Structure 1
Amino acid sequence: MMIINTISLIGTITGLLLTFLVFFKKTGLGVNKKLKYTLSFLIFIFSYTCLDYFLYSTVGEDNVYVGGSYLLYHLIGFILYYFISQFLNNRLLIKKWFIYIIVYSIFKIVFLLYFFQYNSINEFLIKENYYNFLYWVSWEYFWASLINIYLSFSAYKAFIKTPLTIDLTPEKRTQFKWIKIIILSTIIFQIIMFINNMIALYDEQYFDFHIKLDTTILAMFFFLFAYSIMHFPVFAFTGNFKDLPKNIQKKYAKSSLTDATGLFNEIEKLVTSEKLYLEFDLKLNTIAEKLNKSIHHISQAINQTANMSFTDYINAHRIEAAKTKLLANKPDTIYAISLDVGFNSKAAFYAAFKKSTNKTPSQFKKENKI
């Protein structure tokens, strides 16, 4: 038990320090405060889990403060999924999964209210059928783990498939590579942990030790991811001038860009005449080199004039091109159209189209077809 005590205590302290850093340190998370709040909540869940296991091992399972992290376990995959969608400025299927999480949480709360009629866990296990309780917990853990793994993997796929808006420096390329490795390693460890704990579920002593050790190690994996992602610029995905660190924004705000509208008109002419938006991996660097401007000035001009991030600006052109193709006499499939206009996946196309028009491509086609 000394291993669990030590690792759990280290995990709790590490989590608290990371929470402090996310809130107060200048990071690459950009202007979207939801990123800070979401990442902080994820860190809190893992920190609380570590603290819960530490208390369980030191003060015993009947203490009123022990066991609360169980109620938050099913949220991990969804919150990571939501965080990645915000980080990428990409609308994943958040609404559908949000409804699922609400229903699932209500289900857990109802069970908790039933449990509160007992004074302790031991009293509950004595008066209730232990094996019925174990059966319910087994299936709940099984289902929650599968959903967590699925959503974590979906977030990972979105992360690696979303094109960057700038060319990374060698240092940032290495950091980006390690972030991808950490996310994938976390998912693989979740799968190993899930299989291990399902096998050990009916060996109470073995299960009790391993679920605490495995989950605490998983928390340390996540803390490593959180520290890495908070130092990776969200600007690389959004191209939004406001997502740059404050010191860089101030530097370019006082720079030689005196005519943002004029530069934006040059950008618009270049993007439309050469149809650059059809390139799925189009970067700020490409436009900056063609106009002999800095990537920050290009981003600043788009942000100030069109009130959009670079990604949203390029996607707006792609959506307009897609609308024309959707209403053609003999249109291609939606997937083919999404690739033709510059999207690298059907999911990215649907998300951008819905964000721009508040309709799916199929709905738009049906409502506007003559």
Structure 2
Amino acid sequence: MNFTRFGRPAVIAVVAALALSSCAANEAAPAASDAATASALTGTLTGAGSSAQGSAQEAWIAAFQTANPDVTVNYDPSGSGAGRATFIAGGSDFAGSDSYLKDEELAGTFAACAPTGKAVDLPVYISPIAVIFNVEGVKDLNLDSPTLAKIFKGDITTWNDPAIAALNPKATLPTTAITAVHRSDDSGTTKNFSDYLNQTAPDVWTEKPGDPFPYQTGEGAKGTSGVVDAVTNGTGTIGYADASRAGKLGVAKIKVGDKFVGYTAEAAAAVVAESPLVEGRDASDLAIKVDRLTTDPTHYPLVLVSYALVCTEYAKPAQGELVKAYVSYMAGTDGQSVAASAGGAAPLSADLADKVAAVLESIK
């Protein structure tokens, strides 16, 4: 589906709900008037891509359009791969992607960019990836990387497998067959999930990370909502999804160092803050190489960094101004607060936020 401009009553309701949820957490809630800078901006802005950003995009659009009533923002949560393809072809002004642009993509042309411009990756959304499950009689589940990899590769096929039982000595595990649900579409969430398993269990997960799921196993479902629905409605199911969509499903703890840890926004933010930028890229490109091998149990390495893919210079300057304003809001203090309230996202560090702001300031 597409997220399009909300009607005024819906906008007010969304912003009011965010304010109430923030106050409940004893945090100051950004009012619509200061959540995005009011301006004389006008026009239509089109984005597409990451479904993990879906909840955040709904809230961002509501607040931004409240402050900029003459701007319409459309966002299609079609998945990271589809979003990148749309952006490259000029069908959108920006893309949301849970994986940064590949070198071969950067070497090509981007229809929305001016001949003197280039596409860059700007982090705007950080979120843990939750390993969600639906197994009757099992509320708590511990998994280490090799066991998780074997489940999704199809090497472990029943819930009472000795490898799972050894990690969960107090659990009563059924003989139920495992249905491992993965993304059927090209997905940055899949790439991050695969990257985690490839780095932490390379003897099992031998395929290099990419947007397509690499093995012909399990059950495929389209988009984040498709995976969540399949796990929710199935029997003996397990999947991976942006943590904001875990809902009431069981969520496994993963092994970090010598402890099993659950996700938190703080733990996701911590691992990203200590991860380096990808080497060999333009100074304005802020793609991050996430440290998956940390043994610090205060960090959660199964995390995705979702980007806004933008042009440094647009073929249509008016669209450049809209992108600059909207993405600046997304990555700014108020936008990050709204994303945390709406989707449980982890905030950008002050240093990373400053770097994103500096790149956006130069957009034409």
TM-score bracket for the superposition, by shorter chain length: under 0.3
Q: Which has the higher Rg, Structure 1 or Structure 2? A: 1
- Which has more helix, going by share of residues? 1
TM-score by length of 2: 0.26
> Which of structures 1 and 2 has the larger relative contact order (alpha carbons within 8 angstroms, sep 6+)?
2
- Which has more strand, going by share of residues? 2
